[in-house]
A and B are shown apart, each in its own frame.
Chain A
Amino acid sequence: MRKVWNSIIENRFLFLLVLTVILFLIFSFTVKGFSTLYNLTNMTQYAVELGLLGLAETFVIISGGGGIDLSVGSMMSLSAMLIGVLIGKLGWNLFVGVLVTLFAGIIMGLVNGALVTYVRIPAFLVTIATLFIYRSMALIVAIDPKYGPNPMPISSFKESFYFIGQYKIFDYIPFQVVAIFIPVLIITHLILSKTAFGRRLYGVGINEKAALFSGIDPKMVRLFAYSISGLLSSIAGWIITSRIASARPDVGSEFLLQAITIAVLGGVSISGGEGTVLGVLGSVIVVTILYNGLELAGINPIWQLGALGVILIGSVFLNKILLERRRL
């Protein structure tokens, strides 16, 4: 029994799987409409956006040195508005518009990364500042003088734009899960576990000095991590705009807490150098079920955030205790 228990808390994916089963059973019995096929497949739409942002945060936090990205939600919002303006308002070609927006996402991440690594400002301060800067920019972009001084969502898209976020394979499986999320999961997993960059990222996160001595440029590695965060947040902004059929300047503001919680609950150590895509996937599933269950139960959305706050602090504690146990 003790052995089983040990392996459950030591293996994050297993731990989250158990948690998933428990949550699933609780909600199936207590919440009407939870365990229907429609609801279960439908909630994976939301999981895609959560997952992309959780992975964005994962790269940054693994890179260590107090790395954290508080601006993921704002980068998502600004990307959503860029999509809205370029594709919706200006009628750009879908492919070009998305490409330009994702490129802009990379630039936003690069700015964060450059300020953190080359100017050496603490990450939380840089990204708290850009959280507000990017959010403000999203709001300003959303102002259309034709409709007065207030920011307005943009919904003048062509039908083809909605495909990625709304089409369902066999009427059930959301297209973005197959076309975006699974490929991103596989690619990020391969990057972290199989490539030289992945090894460098963990190396820098565990011990910056040691990495430096073994010929790794920690600044470059971290710059990449922040850029990847920008790119993934930007993809999330594109997908959600297609799903809700509207580019909203405030679309990402609720995602910050979720992104960090997902990374940390997934076993990404806040001090860097640790974390896997599999663990993050596990926590995306847990958080998605929790959100969906609470929502169907009619509990005020503000408590979803309250619950996440507790889970966030709790999982950092758990990671810390596990780390200390392993060191003994």
Chain B
Amino acid sequence: MEFSKIVKKREFTILVLIIVLGIIFSFTTAKFLSKDNMTNIMYQLSNLIISAIGMTMVIITGGIDVSIGSTLGLSAVVAGMLLTNNTSLFLVILAVLGVGGIVGAINGVIIGYGGIPAIITTLGTMNLVRAFLFQVLRGRWITGLPEGVRFIGIGRFLGLPISIWIAIVLLIAFSYFLRFRPSGRYIYAIGNNIEAARVSGVDPKKIQFIVYLFAGILAGFCGLIYTARTGIVQTNTGMGFEMDVIAAVVLGGTSTTGGKGTILGTLLGAILVGIIKNGMVLLNVPALGEGLVIGLLILVSVVIDIIRSQGD
């Protein structure tokens, strides 16, 4: 590929931004480039990346899922309760995938088969799942996980966190799915033009169902990683997580009007969000400003996208 083409790519712009921010943070803070901090960023990135894969597919279809923060929370609670009762890890994995799958399937049925707008549906389930989580937890905290099971959250393999390896495997798998599998291509098709897709034999309802199901399952799995990493689950676990994920996906170039987006872009978007959040903590910017920065980033990146697409 010619250099000029690469430069014009969305992914390239984000990469440059990541490098520039990295340089700024490494000069302005003493800790940014330290090995501890880098590992720390990676630990936090794994959940963001895994959930962002699901959100990428959702947004490619022109939808949105704001319920994944609650889904992560509920699944973290289930994982925490089962792990403290010494349930085998295999069963715990099945359980968290089940929790995520149920929430995702509910969203998928209502949005795909019921024809209710995604923002309405997931806003509803977001609150319903949070209420359910609260009922299960009743204001308590879950702590005291057996040390043996925490390797999913804090263990390492070949120097990298195991959770990052999981994220890498999922990134590759879903890249392949989106690019080469027919169902993956259909996701783009219904995002581009739902009527045209229908005429050419794609079942939009089924594809939408699958997309929200995946988003739920991936967020559910993140719940397990969360519990294993932090060793503590509270009623507000996962609150606001959906915002970081949406920011990562939108920054990564996935078009919110549907039909466009790549897993690679999302990975870079997630890294950018992760670095910004980390840098703000290191620079002692109050956490209150985080919403401002993330919100502005989303708007700016969408505006740039729109200006670009008008240029084409």
Once the chains bind, are B289 and A306 in contact (CB under 8 Å)? Answer: no
Q: Residues of B within 8 Å of A, CB-based: how many?
A: 41
Residues of A within 8 A of B128 (CB): 306, 309-310
Say if the beta carbon of B283 comes within 8 Å of chain A: no
Given contacts A121-B303, A121-B306, contact A309 B243 (CB under 8 A): no
Tell me which residues from 116 to 154 in chain A have a Cβ below 8 Å from any Cβ of chain B. 119-122, 124-126, 128-133, 135-137, 139-140, 143, 149, 151
Once the chains bind, are A309 and B250 in contact (CB under 8 Å)? Answer: no
Say if the beta carbon of B95 comes within 8 Å of chain A: no
| Closest chain B CB from A130 CB (angstroms) | 6
Once the chains bind, are A143 and B286 in contact (CB under 8 Å)? Answer: yes
Given contacts A128-B243, A312-B124, A316-B120, contact A151 B288 (CB under 8 A): yes
Partner of A317, one of B114, B123, B246: B114
Once the chains bind, are B250 and A125 in contact (CB under 8 Å)? Answer: yes
Tell me which residues from 151 to 195 in chain A have a Cβ below 8 Å from any Cβ of chain B. 151
Partner of A305, one of B127, B289, B290, B293: B127
Say if the beta carbon of A92 comes within 8 Å of chain B: no
Once the chains bind, are A124 and B64 in contact (CB under 8 Å)? Answer: yes
How many of chain A's residues touch chain B, expressed as a range?
A: 35 or more
Once the chains bind, are B299 and A115 in contact (CB under 8 Å)? Answer: yes
Once the chains bind, are A140 and B292 in contact (CB under 8 Å)? Answer: yes
Give the segment of B32-40, B130-138, B176-184 that binds chain A.
Answer: B130-138
| Closest chain B CB from A127 CB (angstroms) | 10
Please indicate which of the listed interface residues A130, A143, A302 has the most CB atoms of chain B within 10 Å of its own CB: A302
Partner of A313, one of B124, B135, B290: B124
CA A313 to CA B127, docked complex, whole Å: 11
Q: Mark A195-225, 1 if CB is under 8 A from B, else 0.
A: 0000000000000000000000000000000
Once the chains bind, are A120 and B306 in contact (CB under 8 Å)? Answer: yes
| Closest chain A CB from B296 CB (angstroms) | 6
Once the chains bind, are B289 and A140 in contact (CB under 8 Å)? Answer: yes
Partner of B123, one of A115, A120, A143, A257: A257
Name which residue of chain A comes closest to B290, CB basis. A136
CA A305 to CA B127, docked complex, whole Å: 6
Once the chains bind, are B246 and A133 in contact (CB under 8 Å)? Answer: no
Say if the beta carbon of B46 comes within 8 Å of chain A: no
Once the chains bind, are A129 and B126 in contact (CB under 8 Å)? Answer: no
Once the chains bind, are B134 and A139 in contact (CB under 8 Å)? Answer: no
| Closest chain A CB from B32 CB (angstroms) | 22
CA A199 to CA B219, docked complex, whole Å: 44
Given contacts A125-B250, A143-B286, A257-B123, contact A313 B116 (CB under 8 A): yes
Ordered by A's residue number, 23 sampled pairs between the chains whose C-beta atoms are within 8 Å are: A66-B117, A119-B302, A125-B250, A125-B298, A125-B302, A128-B298, A129-B295, A133-B299, A136-B290, A136-B292, A139-B291, A140-B289, A151-B288, A257-B124, A260-B123, A264-B120, A302-B134, A308-B124, A309-B125, A309-B126, A309-B131, A313-B110, A316-B116
Nearest 6 pairs of A and B residues by beta carbon = A306-B131, A132-B291, A136-B292, A136-B291, A133-B295, A139-B288
